[in-house]
Amino acid sequence: MNRQQSLTVALLRHAVLLAGAVIMLAPFVWMISTSLKPPNEIFSTDLSLLPRKWFALENYGKAFTKVPLLRYLLNGVIVTAGIFAAQLLVSLPCAYAMAKLRFRGREVMFTLVLVGLMIPAQVPAIPRYVMLYQVGLLDSYAALILPFVVSAFGIFLMRQFFRTVPDDLVHAARLDGCGEFEILWRIMLPLAFPAMVAFAIISVVAHWNDFFWPLVVVQTGDLATPPLGTLFFRNEEAGSDFGPLMAGTVVITAPLVLLFLGAQRRFIEGMTLTGMKG
């Protein structure tokens, strides 16, 4: 391929990527733009990204005062952090056992994990609701966290990663005097850090954005997670006040975007799972 041809291909490729990026980003850009505009401009017919009259302070101020937005954010942090911590506690030992220990029924267990991976969260929602009702935990943090403590995806992801760690490393650790928990803690965990970061992002994004389950189990506004908070906002503000609503959604989305940008490299490292070599 000569230079000119490759340049054409590169241009074409970038054009396609650019178009994709525009389609992805447009709603977000529009959201930010709307959050800065006064109501009359939001509904005006001419398209303009920047507001003629800056209304940011009013919109964001309203978003923070009309509903307890900070409380929603705090709820989001408590719930996602609680879920992720519990998921690690369960999935790390489980994944280690399935990757490195030999025991009867290991394959069956792994198959069950795969099956678990294929069941959408909505399927067991009703039995879970009933169970939480019977133990009297509905409308609590526990109701938001407990159903997600065992993550089939987390077990699967960490198991795949642990399998790339050479057996000799585990053997060496055993000879050096480590028990199984020591091996997990001293050897496997530090090595699996990239995979853990990837899992952290996936888990946090999923549960930060989760709308369905909080909607099912939470009635009091004090426990609302950010997406549910947005809903309360819309209900209370009767729909038409889009400026503050968009300001609220910007605030809710921002942590995730920042988290992703900060951990982007780790995230890709973890996802490609280029384990240990040498």
Partner 1 sequence: MGAITISGLGKSFGTVEVLKDVSLDIADGEFLTLLGPSGCGKSTLLRIIAGLERQTAGSIAIDGRAIDGLPAKARNIAMVFQSYALYPHLTAARNIALPLTMRRMTPWQRLPLVGSLLPGTRGLRAAIGRDVAGVAAALDIAHLLDRKPGQLSGGQKQRVALARAMVRQPAAFLLDEPLSNLDAKLRVQMRAELTDLHRRLATTMIYVTHDQAEAMTMSDRVAVLMGGDLLQVGPPRRIYDDPETLQVAEFVGSPKINVLPGRMGRPGLVDCLGARLPLGVPGGPDVALRVAVRPEALVLARPDAADCLRGRVRHIENLGSDCMVHADVEGAADPVVVRLDPEAGGRLARGTPIALEIPPHRALVFDAEGKRLRPDAATARLRRAGA
- Is there binding between residue 120 and partner 1 (CB under 8 A)? no
- In terms of CB distance, is 28 or 193 closer to partner 1? 193
- In terms of CB distance, is 54 or 185 closer to partner 1? 185
- Is there binding between residue 173 and partner 1 (CB under 8 A)? yes
- Is there binding between residue 177 and partner 1 (CB under 8 A)? yes
Give the one residue of 24, 168, 220, 239 binding partner 1; rule: CB under 8 A: 168
- Is there binding between residue 105 and partner 1 (CB under 8 A)? no
- Is there binding between residue 172 and partner 1 (CB under 8 A)? yes
Give the one residue of 8, 171, 222, 262 binding partner 1; rule: CB under 8 A: 171
Of 270, 142, 272, nearest in space to 214 by CA:
142
| Tokens standing for residue 69 | 């937005």
What Å distances lie between residue 88 and 59, 113, 133, 251, 262, CA to CA?
39, 15, 26, 28, 21
Q: What are phi and psi of 150, to 5 degrees?
A: -95, 115
In this structure, the number of other CB atoms found within 10 A of the CB of residue 276 comes to: 11
Minimum distance from CB of 205 to partner 1 (Å)?
Answer: 27
- Whether 155 and 94 have beta carbons less than 8 Å apart is answered as yes
- Is there binding between residue 190 and partner 1 (CB under 8 A)? yes
Give the one residue of 105, 120, 239, 278 binding partner 1; rule: CB under 8 A: 278
CA distance 9 to 3: 10
Binding footprint of partner 1 on the chain (CB under 8 A) = 166, 168-169, 171-179, 182, 186-187, 190-191, 276, 278
